[in-house]
């Protein structure tokens, strides 16, 4: 009797584990489809019907995985920032303050200009009434903390200087998307803008 009971318990755990994996797989498929729709039609134009059609579901069936369309946006937001967090984690800071600023600018610029839908969701409020959850906002916070840590390492700690940096690099990204998507018109200005920023906040010149 004990052996039978033990087998049932193990089977129950296996069933729960299998169901959990299946559910997680369905969530990943839904999110992948949501990104595909967003990239094809725009982030704000995403509909549950379009997402459901791509995964072979009826739209109401999505609610067994996500509470609402905003819940899908929320998960996408978290995915996007977690992806950039990995990119930031691979950054090896150079010893020169100016070289670090250039590297940070290029890293964000290249990531942000490689995927419009992702950039819009991460950095522009294109979805009315959408606010990310605390859980999915955490990767963005960690990225900012990592940035402040790297900048503090070369003597840039004033919050206003950090705000100016984000304004400079975000402006370059927005200009690239607005006026030359897929081109290099603003990409070629990243290092120049980085040096202008370094001059403005008084970073030392690099040795010749």
The answer to whether residues 124 and 145 belong to one domain is yes
Q: What is the pLDDT at residue 88? A: 95
Burial class (CB in 10 A: 0-12, 13-18, 19+), 73: buried
| Tokens coding 65 | 């995985």
Does residue 99 sit in the same domain as residue 170? yes
Give this prediction's pTM: 0.86
What pLDDT does residue 4 have? 45
Tell whether 55 and 74 lie within a shared domain: no
Task: Please state, in angstroms and rounded to a whole number, the distance separating the CA atoms of residues 48 and 46.
Answer: 7
Domain end (from 16, 44, 66): 66
Half-sphere exposure of 18 (CA within 13 A, CB side): 6
Query: 55 and 77 share a domain?
Result: no
Model confidence pLDDT, tens digit, residues 21-80:
777 888 999 999 999 999 999 999 999 999 999 999 888 888 889 999 999 999 999 999
Confidence at residue 5, expressed as pLDDT on a 0 to 100 scale:
47
Residues 208 and 132 in one domain: yes
Last residue of a domain, one of 24, 41, 66: 66
Q: What would the pLDDT profile of 81-133 be if each residue is shown by its tens digit?
A: 999 999 999 999 998 999 999 999 999 999 999 999 999 999 999 999 999 99
- Residue 41: the pLDDT is 94
> Residues 132-150: pLDDT tens digits?
999 999 999 999 999 999 9
CATH code where residue 9 lies: 1.10.10
Domain around 78: 70-208
The model's confidence at residue 2, banded by pLDDT at 50, 70 and 90, is: very low
Q: How far apart are CA 61 and CA 79, in angstroms?
A: 22
Question: Domain end: 66, 89, 115, which one?
Answer: 66
More confident residue, 27 or 14: 27
- Domain total for the chain? 2
Same domain, 207 and 184: yes
Does residue 153 share a domain with residue 108?
yes
C-alpha 170/C-alpha 73 separation (Å) is 21
11 compared with 75, residue with greater pLDDT: 75
Task: Collapse the DSSP code of 148 into the 3-class scheme (helix H, G, I; strand E, B; otherwise coil) and give the result.
Answer: helix
Q: Are residues 17 and 105 in the same domain?
A: no
Q: Is residue 9 scored above 80 in pLDDT?
A: no
- Position 6 scores a pLDDT of 46
Indicate the range of 21-35, 152-166, 180-194 predicted with least confidence. 21-35
CATH label of the domain that carries residue 84: 1.10.357
CA angle 33–141–78, rounded 5-degree value: 10
């Amino acid at each position: 009797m004990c052996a039978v009971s033990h087998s049932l318990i193990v089977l129950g755990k296996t069933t729960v584990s299998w169901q959990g994996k299946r559910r997680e797989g369905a969530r990943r498929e839904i999110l992948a489809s949501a990104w595909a729709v967003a990239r094809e039609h725009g982030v704000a134009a995403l509909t549950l019907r379009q997402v459901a059609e791509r995964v072979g579901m009826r739209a109401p069936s999505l609610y067994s995985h996500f509470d609402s369309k905003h819940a899908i946006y929320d998960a996408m937001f978290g995915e996007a920032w977690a992806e950039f967090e990995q990119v930031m984690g691979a950054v090896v800071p150079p010893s020169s303050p100016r070289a670090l600023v250039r590297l940070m600018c290029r890293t964000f610029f290249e990531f942000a200009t490689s995927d419009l839908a992702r950039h819009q969701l991460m950095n522009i409020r294109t979805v009315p009434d959408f606010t990310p959850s605390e859980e999915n906002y955490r990767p963005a916070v960690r990225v900012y903390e990592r940035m402040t840590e790297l900048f503090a390492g070369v003597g840039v700690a004033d919050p206003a200087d950090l705000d100016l940096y984000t304004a400079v690099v975000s402006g370059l990204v927005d200009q690239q998307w607005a006026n030359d998507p897929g081109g290099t018109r603003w990409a070629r200005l990243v290092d120049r803008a980085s040096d202008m920023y370094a001059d403005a906040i008084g970073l030392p010149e690099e040795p010749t």
